[in-house]
Amino acid sequence: MDYTTRSCREFVTVLASSEPAPGGGGASALVAALGTALGNMVGSLTVGKKKYADVEEEILALKAKCDQLQNELLDQVPADAEGFIPLSKAYGIPKDDPSRPEIMEKATITACQVPMHIMELCCESIEAISVFAAKGSRLAVSDAGCGAAIVKSALQAASLNVFINTKTLQNRALAEEMNAKCLGMLDKYGKMADEIFETVKAGFFK
């Protein structure tokens, strides 16, 4: 079920239940979509203003990109649930079944794919928010800072949904490759999000 089409309260209720999905991956995707939308709102409050006419074309293009990112991130909520189904079923295979290790391995790799994609989308979002924070309306700059902080948390949350699975992979070369990619995103874009937040915060104390 695509819980992005239901109420916020219903999503939270199901998230708190014993249902296997939505879980951390789906929650991080939704959170990232919200953070991206906050950055996008700064763009919406910038276009059409004479003061920002020189950056309007750039902001409009960025807004279009964020519209797409928001939709892609929301699509990852049901995608993450679907990606977890094979692994959930694999855990139910008797441990003495000779086919279990291979099925578990394939299902674990599948379970890594959506949270990794969520991380990639978060990185794109943070890059966009950095521009909104630097060039967007000063009246809404706090929302760019909020967006950066929120998307960073989603980036971190999604990474844990990768790491919990790569830990059990038998193919250690693939596991280390995935881990390295995730750690690289956390380092580069986590720092970028922190810089956005700190710059926005510092502006209120000048």
- Assess whether the previous peptide bond of 86 is cis (omega < 30° from 0): no
Pick from 185, 179, 104, 114: nearest CA to 152: 185
- Report the predicted TM-score, pTM, of the whole model to 2 decimal places: 0.95
- Distance (Å) of CA 170 to CA 103, 104, 119, 165: 12, 10, 23, 11
- What is the DSSP secondary structure assignment for residue 16, as one 8-state letter? T
- For 96-152, the pLDDT digits (tens) are 999 999 999 999 999 999 999 999 999 999 999 999 999 999 999 999 999 999 999
List of residues 6+ apart from 149 with CB closer than 8 A: 35, 193, 197
What is the 8-class DSSP label of residue 19?
Answer: -
Cis peptide leading into residue 101 (ω within 30°): no
What structural domains and CATH numbers belong to the chain?
A: 23-203 (1.20.120.680)
Taking residue 78's Cβ as centre, other Cβ atoms within 10 Å add up to: 19
Radius of gyration of the chain (CA): 19
User: Read out DSSP for 26-69?
Assistant: HHHHHHHHHHHHHHHHHHHTTTT-GGGGGGHHHHHHHHHHHHHH
Residue 1 confidence (pLDDT) above 80: no
Report residue 206's pLDDT band, with 50, 70 and 90 as the boundaries. confident
**Tell me: the pLDDT tens digits for 22-38?**
999 999 999 999 999 99
Give the C-alpha separation, 126 to 189, whole Å. Answer: 7
Task: Choose the weakest-confidence range: 17-21, 126-130, 177-181.
Answer: 17-21
Cα torsion through 58, 64, 67, 71, rounded to 10: -130
